[in-house]
Amino acid sequence: MKRKLFGILALMGVLSFGYGQEACNMGTTSDNYGMGENVSTGGMFEYAGAVDFSVPFGSVFTADQITVNLLKGQADLEYINVSFLEEDAGMPGAVIAAFEELIPTASELVYNVEGESFSVYKLTIDLPENVVFGKGKYFLQISASPGDENGAWWERTANEQTYGAFDFFKFLDEPWGGTGYYNKVFQVIGTCADSGEVQPEMGEACSQGNSTEFPADGVPFIANSEIISVADDFIVPENTTFHLTHFTMNAWLLGGGFHNATINIRSSENGAPGAILHSFENKGPEYEQFNDYWPVPGQAFDAASIIIDFSFEFAPVELAAGTYFIDVRPTPNASELLTWEATPSPGIGSSSYVSQDQGNSWIPVEGINQVFTVTGFCEESLGTDNPVANQIGIYPNPAKDILHIDSAQPVESIALFDVNGRKIRDYQNPSETISVSGLSNGLYFARITLFNGTASSLKIVKE
């Protein structure tokens, strides 16, 4: 039995279209608050803004039109520039398609902004050619040439948010910035079709974690002006295989954003974080949800409370029964406060830990548990092996050229298979690393055999 595993979408509307296609759109709605971000171009200043949307596993999305809400005067825009970008570590990346100086096909007054010379208009732009997107996260970028002195401002909203430092913007060729917690009002419109991709049955939906409470505590990611690692544990029950698809954490931010992080899944050794089993470097969030402003102990100002979700849906992390630590180290970013929310209430397993040397040594934070949830699918496993004693770690995963093997016992051989079960590589008496360069991007399975006769199968993603 197989089923499709769908990702998270930003207000994805669907309407029957026929013959395997459906009309669909992705985007956000206005909260009529009258806030905007400068996207004016064609004059003395050159601004641009970007916002993200996601196409789920199993779907192909073909875009032929967009709508955006802009704050502007009564004069028509001279033109609007539209680009679609790849996602790169949670940020706007390489250009997929770019359309210059488009003329909106429709302009609809949404509401007037009290006391201002501009109003909010919904603009419809037909794309000169269709843009096709497979599964994954993408960014819509626009800039607009205003028709009068009021400029062009992309409307922002706190509703239906899909990504955290939502107000991505740039000036000229500067790097992308953004430290606010509002999304932009837009729709990407087109058709959705079944890609034919399927995920194997992975059992029943399951999750576990530590809940938030008020007043809350926190463990900072910044100590002595340096970024540190914070880790907490979760437990996969006996006779269970857990397929991790989402990791969600609560954070406090002040004066900055949480653009991406290195996330490691570690073994548990004597109740503390151990060897890295899976590593994801500079991983961007699937979404960040603004959760109001909260008072933070020791801070004069309230901080933004943000719920941050990291998705592993396209390559679920398979974990056998045992105790694991999830270790988070944010990528350095301009921020006055960057804290993982914590609770003094009893949580899963042991207390959380911090590391100031990138995981080489760990210090317990006694009596504290981090606020997080791990979500995925659980299936019964009837194996009799001791998974903790026989744990084998591979990292980074996804891998580009080199794959590191971390095993408590010597490795005799590693056989690599493609998704059709064909053996494509065989490594005898491998060292601590093996080369996966030359392999096509995609999913593989490694059969790792130890000299003690134990064999394990692990998923590997080549990127």
- Do 359 and 451 belong to one domain? no
Going residue by residue through the chain (463 aa), what tens digit of pLDDT does each one get? 233 333 333 345 655 444 468 999 999 889 888 889 999 999 878 999 999 999 998 899 999 999 999 999 999 999 999 999 999 988 899 999 999 999 999 999 999 998 899 999 999 999 999 999 999 999 999 999 999 999 999 998 876 555 444 567 788 888 887 655 678 899 999 999 998 887 788 999 999 999 887 767 889 998 888 899 999 999 999 889 999 999 999 998 877 667 889 999 999 988 899 999 999 999 988 888 878 788 877 777 788 888 899 999 888 999 999 999 999 999 877 667 889 999 888 888 888 999 999 899 999 998 899 999 999 999 987 654 444 334 677 888 888 888 888 877 788 888 887 766 667 888 888 878 888 888 888 888 787 887 766 667 777 888 8
- Do 260 and 149 belong to one domain? no
Sign of CA dihedral 337, 343, 348, 351: positive
Is residue 385 in some structural domain?
A: no
How many domains is the chain built from?
3
One-character DSSP codes across 131-152: EEE-SEEEEEEEEEE-SSTT--
Domain boundary among 150, 167, 194: 194
What CATH number does residue 432 fall under? 2.60.40.1930
Is residue 386 in some structural domain?
A: no
Q: From residue 444, how far is each of 99, 286, 293, 425, 434 by CA, in Å?
A: 37, 24, 44, 11, 14
Is residue 136 in some structural domain?
A: yes
Is residue 351 in some structural domain?
A: yes
* pTM to 2 decimal places: 0.77
- Do 51 and 96 belong to one domain? yes
- Do 103 and 139 belong to one domain? yes
Is residue 218 in some structural domain?
A: yes
- Do 91 and 228 belong to one domain? no
- Do 82 and 138 belong to one domain? yes
Which of 235, 330, 339, 241 has its CA nearest to residue 296? 339
**Which residues, in sequence order, are CB contacts of 432 under 8 Å at separation 6+?**
404, 405, 406
At 3-61, the pLDDT tens digits run 333 333 334 565 544 446 899 999 988 988 888 999 999 987 899 999 999 999 889 99
At 133-150, the pLDDT tens digits run 999 999 999 999 999 999
Whole domain around residue 313: which residue ranges? Answer: 203-380
Is residue 387 in some structural domain?
A: no
How many residues are recorded in the chain?
463
- Do 408 and 363 belong to one domain? no
The residue written with tokens 């949800």 in the block is: 289
